[in-house]
Amino acid sequence: MRFAKWAASASALTLATAGAVIALAPAGNAATAGDYSVAPYVDMSNGQEGLLDTAITGHGLTSYTAAFVLGSGCNQIWGDTLPIGADSFTDPLIAKAKSEGASVIISSGGASGLPLAWTCSTQSSIDAGYQAIIDDYGVDRLDFDIEGAAIADTAAAARQMQAMKDLKAANPNLQFSVTLPVLTSGLTSDGVNILKAAKTAGIRIDTVNIMTMDFYEGTGTEMGDGSVSAAEATLAQMQSVDSGYTYGNLGITPMIGKNDDGSTFTLADAQTVESFAAQHGVGRLAFWSVNRDQPCSGTANSLSTCSEISQNSFAFTDAFLPFAGGSGGTTTGGATTGGTTTGGTTTGGSGTTGGTTTGGTGTTGGSGGTTCTAASWSSSQVYTGGDTVSWNGHDWLAKWWTQGEEPGTTGEWGVWSDQGAC
């Protein structure tokens, strides 16, 4: 089925799950808790939840999207069938991540689950249910993943948008995202109708999060370029409904590694998407899922628990984190692991690993003649997000993969971020 995008990610759940989203911080600034520009999904019920701790404590992840809350009549449960606010497994995981400095977006719905507005027709109960999520988890970000037959339910969509209007009035800081399936040509007509439901209710969706995955256009589909095409087409559709929408209201969520349709979203695709997002000021980046951001080994050999491609663990997390202003780790042998780079000083990683320079001492910074602590930029060297070099008397931080682009020549939205004189 065309819209069953997240189904493979829900194989361990009693009730199936899938989807989610985020907002933006300027590239080059340190990511902090509450910066939702990079917030990958975490399946809170698939046995790989421990990876979230490592992503936070070892890789600098500061936001994530917890999936999924499911409507059950006029009640709400997590995917493991335990009620929100009283789930003895999921609630402590969220509390632990918070204690480690990470902020959470709570996502409802998915490929086989439904948000509350789709399972309950009483508006006051829907409002109260969503307010309970806000109160139980202390959040001001909600996400709603709408797929399959649900996306065509116009009555439910109207209830959903009325609930968001009511809740925004009661919770001034509340922001919400709607996660929708997409083609490389943009949203389906049903997806556009979700945007129209918001306009009819008199609100604007804070983030229209598109699932750039499972395009079913052939296994050789170039997923990075496909994601960009989908994003550009979706923004045009958004603006046709409400001219006030900008790239800042757009979210992009690929499925890392192998997709259900046999296509593959690679690390190079991740760099393409991160670069596009930084260039255009996209509101957020996410991916499905942190639980899968590792190579397969042993019994972990399915789409729900690994990427099914050759990668280092957390390579995709590291590839997206520069968008939030973090380095995402030190590059080792072409893939990303551990450590962060700040102001030219590498922590948690070595100076030069796998042929990529991430540090160095006593190097003259280009033609400026000033002694800087980072290694001098080289036109033949490959750099990845988080690498720091010196050039013309300044330290420069790479936002994404680059080679041959001289620091100081790429402009404000280019690959090199000026870290100041050294």
Whether 7 shows a pLDDT value over 90: the answer reads no
Segment 82-104 shows an average pLDDT of 96
pLDDT of amino acid 33: 61
Instruction: State the pLDDT confidence band at 354, using cuts at 50, 70 and 90.
Output: very low
- Report the candidate in 408, 351, 403, 360 with the shortest Cα–Cα distance to residue 378: 403
Residue-wise DSSP of 293-349: -S--BTTB-STTT--SSS--TTHHHHHHGGGGT----EEETTEEES-EEETTEEESS
Split at pLDDT 50, 70, 90, the class of 135 is very high
Per-residue pLDDT for 11 more than 70? no
pTM: 0.73
Model confidence over 261-270: pLDDT tens digits?
A: 999 999 999 9
- Which pLDDT score, from 0 to 100, does residue 254 have? 98
Query: How do the domains of the chain map onto residue ranges?
Result: 7-326, 332-421
Comparing C-alpha atoms, which of 256, 363, 338, 351 is closest to residue 305?
256
399 pLDDT band (50/70/90 cuts)? Answer: confident
DSSP 403: S
Q: What is the pLDDT of residues 162-213, one digit of tens each?
A: 999 999 999 999 999 999 999 999 999 999 999 999 999 999 999 999 999 9
Range in 3-7, 314-318, 416-420 with the lowest mean pLDDT: 3-7
Q: Is the pLDDT of residue 332 over 70?
A: no
- What confidence tier does 31 reach under pLDDT thresholds 50, 70, 90? low
Q: Residue 299: which residues within 8 A CB-CB, separation 6 or more? A: none
Does pLDDT of 96 surpass 50? yes
Average pLDDT, the chain: 82
**pLDDT (0 to 100) of residue 356:** 32
Q: How far apart are CA 64 and CA 324, in angstroms?
A: 12
> What 8-state DSSP symbol labels residue 101?
T
Nearest alpha carbon to residue 130 among 97, 171, 89, 94 = 171
Q: Which of 88-92, 187-191, 316-320, 380-384 bottoms out in mean pLDDT, i.e. has the lowest?
A: 380-384
**Residue 196: both structure tokens together:** 């129209």
Which fold, 332-421?
Seminal Fluid Protein  PDC-109 (Domain B) (2.10.10)
Which CATH number is associated with domain 7-326? 3.20.20.80
- pLDDT tier at 396, thresholds 50, 70, 90: confident
Per-residue model confidence (pLDDT) at position 338: 37
Same topology, domains 7-326 and 332-421? Answer is no
- Amino acid present at 202: G
Rg of the chain in Å (alpha carbons) = 21
pLDDT of 382 strictly over 70: yes
167 vs 47, more confident: 167
* pLDDT category of residue 326 using cuts at 50, 70 and 90: low
Asked if residue 119 has pLDDT above 50, the reply is yes
Lowest mean pLDDT across 55-59, 224-228, 415-419: 415-419
**Does pLDDT of 310 surpass 60?**
yes
Q: Specify the range with the lowest mean pLDDT, choosing from 17-26, 192-201, 307-316, 387-396.
A: 17-26
pLDDT of residue 300: 58
304-325 mean pLDDT: 94
**pLDDT of the residue at 190:** 98
Q: In this structure, are strands 250-254 and 207-212 parallel, antiparallel, or unpaired? A: parallel
Residue scoring higher pLDDT (349 or 108): 108
How many CB atoms within 10 Å of residue 169? 10
Helical H runs in 187-300? Answer: 189-201, 223-241, 267-280
- With cut-offs at 50, 70 and 90, classify the pLDDT of residue 351: very low
